[in-house]
Structure 1
């Protein structure tokens, strides 16, 4: 079975565009994962510092250019909620990365298969 040259070029161009887009998105997602990991580390350090304080210690949180007093229990609760949300976001990003890597790999295999078959 022979594929016309124009159709083959169009198919190859579409596959290359898909591979290129996937590769760009992989870089973006990896940067987002690294940012989430940094945020998680900061949350972990903050949580451990707040946990080491006695219960009656005044805790202040930055709000814009000012600091507001919050009970340490509320701060711990907020930090725990943020940590869970961060874990969920990181998990979703890992799934997206896996999908993009699979798409990129499949595109590369399709291009190789087209060249191996000689296009017709």
Structure 2
């Protein structure tokens, strides 16, 4: 889980910046809050970009699964002795119907595993983005209250 490690690293960095900012004067504190705000904003933007990427990867995997399902349903209606061919590069190779069914089933299982993994990654990224946004809003509220 590399994602969890990066969250801990960001949290540690944020905490150290706050601690350093608390020990300094007013201008030092403002510069640390500014640095902290910029870091959180960078993390939020990075998370948003990764969310878009993961969503497109999930859509591609779902299309791949749907194609395998359609192919499998078409092959199921064929007689076992029907010749079918699989594209391999620029040529086609004859494949027995049962072998192709097994290959498609294993492909669908692997795609399901991939989709599940992407779903977990998406959940993590959405949580990270939400937390970053909440931190930014809290810092801005504190900054506005401190300026009054």
* TM-score normalised per structure 2: 0.77
Whose helix proportion is higher, 1 or 2? Answer: 2
Q: Shift in Å at residue 21 of structure 1?
A: 0.2
Question: Residue 118 of structure 1: SS of its match in structure 2?
Answer: helix
Q: Shift in Å at residue 65 of structure 1?
A: 1.2
> Cα RMSD (Å) of the superposition?
1.3
Question: Residue 97 of structure 1: SS of its match in structure 2?
Answer: helix
C-alpha separation in 1, matches of 2:87 and 2:66: 19
Paired residue total: 119
C-alpha separation in 1, matches of 2:120 and 2:140: 31
Find the counterpart in structure 2 of residue 22 from structure 1: 47
Gaps of 5+ in 2: 1-20, 23-28
Instruction: Compare 58-67 and 101-110 and name the one that shifted more.
Output: 58-67
Find the counterpart in structure 2 of residue 13 from structure 1: 38
C-alpha separation in 1, matches of 2:96 and 2:79: 11
Find the counterpart in structure 2 of residue 41 from structure 1: 66
Q: Shift in Å at residue 26 of structure 1?
A: 0.4
Q: Shift in Å at residue 116 of structure 1?
A: 1.2
Gaps of 5+ in 1: none
Does residue 1:53 correspond to 2:53, yes or no?
A: no
Does residue 1:95 correspond to 2:120, yes or no?
A: yes
Which 4+ residue blocks in structure 1 deviate beyond 3 angstroms?
A: none
Q: Shift in Å at residue 56 of structure 1?
A: 1.2
Find the counterpart in structure 2 of residue 114 from structure 1: 139
Higher relative contact order (CA 8 A, sep 6+): 1
Describe how 1:49-88 pairs up with structure 2 within 5 A.
Answer: 49-88=74-113
Instruction: Output one character per residue of 1:67-96: Cα deviation in whole Å (capped at 9) or x when no partner.
Output: 111111100000000000000000000100
Question: Residue 48 of structure 2: SS of its match in structure 1?
Answer: helix
